[in-house]
Chain A
């Protein structure tokens, strides 16, 4: 009898664990200019891989989330100022960033892709030296490009860089490979004029993490628990298939 009661108590505790977090609302910021990871669909709804991923975490952990569209240039300041709790916006975990914020476990892996016009013939990183490069400001593509050319141009959104590439003001744009694929290979004028010249494979693989305020262990714990559940239940694989398709 005692054993049974103990077991019941343990079971209650275990089942009650998600509800510790339940009811908590996390404000999640996305910069919706980064398809297919996070962007606005035709109905002005925030959609994409990271949006679905956060929703799946919310479902698994019993929290509620409030998605917000925040411009990239201000997204880290928004976290620091306490106006948002989580950045779910394809943020690669880097040393510089870890000094300023904490990261969840990785939830996706990318490499830097080099997008050019159809007629260009760039094959390696060396071909890019001295060329007119562009990238979205403070992205890992921008940092990789600046190592090659100090005068790389920084855009507020990667879409402007692609436009400038098409207009002939740039020779190459650097960005995460799923985004490059979305811009360069999807239909419309981009696909007619742009291509992925190559993917920088000799650099370290980049891992996306959800960023939280430094020291915010509570949020981090919820996210990591959610990521684990999402991965173990095969939801992550489904989301990758749905949004990136490989």
Chain B
């Protein structure tokens, strides 16, 4: 594995991953996480009125938020992988198809895609709220992830391919057994980052009247007019979840790069 490139693909739309090598960021993560957690506990215990009440009202919104995120992750991963491979394909048609998909989807805001799929195409597909949200998010993030996969795969030295081919591996075997396993190390952290971005972007599905965390918060605020308290609490919950996820990504990254640290 001497040829493994030591690059890190930075994507800026998720929360920052607290790499162990970046002491400042690790400290920042701790401050943000424990600060947010302490604040949340303080609010729902000491200032139970209205915070505990709000928390109880919005809690079931978290289920929808996670539901959409998890299904969208499962669907966008294969889409992303296929798109990344398609973008690197020497087959002109496949390459063009994948590139056009990325180009079109990345040029349309997710919000507009959600409106189009749900309200615009509702007559034709008649898909319910959660499936529509999952499809729109997977199609959108599949395109983003396609670029991550492409970057990760093309970062593997061409010598690896040549070596594998000269040992008698087919093109397919080379990709599956030699290139992809190595690429995973560079791909996984930015993909994890995309997951975090995705979780945050599920807040957009509230425009489909899905009762996610943000929509539940808006409903509560719309009745009792305590916007400050509601959106402070909702923001805190999102923050705590994304910080937990970014920590998980950094732990996963550290494990993947275990041998590099020696």
Bound CA span A158–B221, Å = 18
Neighbour of B218 across the interface among A134, A137, A160, CB < 8 A: A137
Inter-chain contact B207/A154, CB cutoff 8 Å: no
Query: Which of A143, A153, A160 interacts with B211 by CB under 8 Å?
Result: A153
Mark the stretch among B15-23, B121-129, B184-192 that contacts chain A.
B121-129
Judge whether A164 is part of the interface by a CB distance below 8 angstroms: yes
* Inter-subunit contact B119/A154 (CB<8 Å): no
Contacts of A168 in B (CB 8 A): 126
C-alpha gap A226/B173 in the complex (Å) = 81
Complexed CA–CA distance, A202 and B129 (Å): 33
B227 interfacial contact with A, CB 8 Å: yes
List chain A residues, Cβ under 8 A from B119: 160, 163-164, 167
Q: Is A138's CB under 8 angstroms from B219's CB? A: yes
Chain B neighbourhood of A76, CB < 8 A: 222, 225
Residues from 112 to 150 in A contacting B, C-beta threshold 8 Å = 134, 137-138, 142-143
Main secondary structure of the interface of B (DSSP, over half): helix
A77 within 8 Å of B (CB atoms): yes
Interface size on A, residues (CB 8 A): 27
Q: What residues on A are CB-neighbors of B123 within 8 Å?
A: 166-167
Task: Tally inter-chain residue pairs, CB-CB below 8 A.
Answer: 60
Known: A77-B227, A160-B119. A138 touches B209 (CB 8 A): no
Return chain A residues, CB-CB under 8 Å to B259: none
What bracket does the count of chain B residues touching chain A fall in?
10 to 19
Is A218 in the interface zone, CB < 8 Å from B? no
Which of A73, A99, A167 makes the CB contact (< 8 A) with B222?
A73
Q: Are B224 and A96 touching (Cβ within 8 A)?
A: yes
Query: Is B122 a contact partner of A73 (Cβ separation < 8 A)?
Result: no
Give the chain B neighbours of A45 by CB distance below 8 A. none
Q: B49: shortest Cβ distance to chain A, in Å?
A: 14
**In the assembled complex, which residues on chain B have CB atoms less than 8 Å from the CB atom of A101?**
225
Chain A proximity of B206: nearest CB distance (Å): 8
Contacting residue for A100 out of B122, B215, B225, CB 8 A: B225
Q: Are A137 and B122 in contact (CB under 8 A)?
A: no
Q: How far is the CA of A164 from the CA of B121 in the complex (A)?
A: 11
Complex contacts, A97 vs chain B, CB 8 Å: 225
Give me 4 other A-B pairs in contact (C-beta within 8 A), A167-B123, A168-B126, A169-B126 excluded: A77-B221, A143-B223, A151-B211, A163-B119
